Amino acid sequence: MEYTKLGNTDITVSRICLGCMGFGNPEKGNISWTLDYEKSKEIIAHALELGVNFFDTAIAYNGGTSEQFVGRALRELAKREDVVVATKFLPRTPDEIAAGVTGQQHVENMLNKSLENLGMEYVDLYICHMWDYNTPIEEIMEGMNNAVVSGKARALGFSNCFAWQIAKANAIAEKNGWAKISAVQGHYNLLHREEEREMIPYCNEEGIALTPYSALAAGRLAKRAGEVTKRTQEDGVAKMKYDATAAEDAKIIERVEELADRYGVSMTEISIAWLLTKVTSPVVGATKLHHIDAPASATSLKLTDEDIAYLEEPYVPHALVGVMAINKPKPTQPVTWSMGK
């Protein structure tokens, strides 16, 4: 396993981050293919054996039971100082807004609940799961800074946002002497590269870590044509993200398969090896032991410049999907300009 610093922080993370959305009680959320505690613990233990020290979860995953499973397993398997734990919080709810709960209070309440779920005194990386268009960003950033000042979070991140939003958030933090955003978790893989337009250049310029999710496009970059799993059949979110561009994406998937055969490795290794040339630590989900084996092996697979160009060449622009398409600002009335006479 290779390791690196998380952006401009002093936190050392493995080049592979274990995504824990697949862990938790399926009756507590809307995901039917999640694992129970013992199976979740088995995968976490295997990841630790492979050198993975970076684990990503969220309070939204299966009603907080993902956090509970992850926290319990890590307490049983590792020393707290040897692992890096990231979790995420959601925007304020309509009920909170109606009750006058401020952004600062909301962040504090969500973090305290996550720490309770995890059974931990702090998280290493606390991430705003998506931009909250109903709460002033000043309140969110102050609340996140309070988490750092209190010692309940070591570093801060954002997920599902635009580059201008991170720039705005960090400008506000710098103006007020608050902790800044050190990591961004966006939707990025060989099939969806829209983050390359602005987010990745901005983060590279500012020393902000990139820890993208959906590294394998919900398994599409890991499976040969015709392969079917329970998740590919039942994951409605993934269908919404990728089905509309299946024909265009198939050309890229064919090239992943071709390179995998040429190198004698799995498609997962090719897809992750490409991603590792672009980002700090991709978030890779796992519901079977081998799901983490291949990403770990990918850290030692070095693609040539020709390989990278070959994989990238068929890409066509994609529309924003998922949270980025749903959670976006409402269009405003266009301004009409007149030069007059």
DSSP symbols for 272-338: HHHHHTT-S--EEE-SSTHHHHHHHHHTT----HHHHHHHHTT-------THHHHS-PPPPPPPPP-
Q: So what's the pLDDT on residue 214?
A: 92
| Beta strand 17-19 pairing with 153-159 | unpaired
Segments forming the whole domain that contains residue 212 = 3-326
107 found inside a domain: yes
Q: So what's the pLDDT on residue 177?
A: 97
Give the span between the Cα atoms of 246 and 221, in whole angstroms. Answer: 12
Q: So what's the pLDDT on residue 336?
A: 37
335 found inside a domain: no
28 found inside a domain: yes
CATH number at residue 73: 3.20.20.100
Please give the single-letter amino acid code of residue 5: K
- Catalytic position from the list 61, 126, 213, 242: 61
315 is catalytic: no
Q: To the nearest whole percent, how much of the chain has pLDDT over 90?
A: 79
Number of structural domains (the chain) is: 1
Helix axis angle for 290-298 and 37-49, nearest 10°, is 20
Q: So what's the pLDDT on residue 334?
A: 43
Count other Cβ atoms within 10 Å, centred on residue 57. Answer: 29
Q: So what's the pLDDT on residue 330?
A: 58
What is the phi/psi pair of residue 5, to 5°?
Answer: -80, 145
337 found inside a domain: no
Identify the segments of the chain with pLDDT beneath 50. Answer: 333-341
306 found inside a domain: yes
336 found inside a domain: no
Q: So what's the pLDDT on residue 237?
A: 55
Q: So what's the pLDDT on residue 226?
A: 60
What is the phi/psi pair of residue 159, to 5°?
Answer: -130, 155
Q: So what's the pLDDT on residue 338?
A: 34
163 found inside a domain: yes
Please list, in sequence order, all residues whose beta carbon lies within 8 angstroms of the beta carbon of residue 98, skipping any fewer than 6 positions away. Answer: none
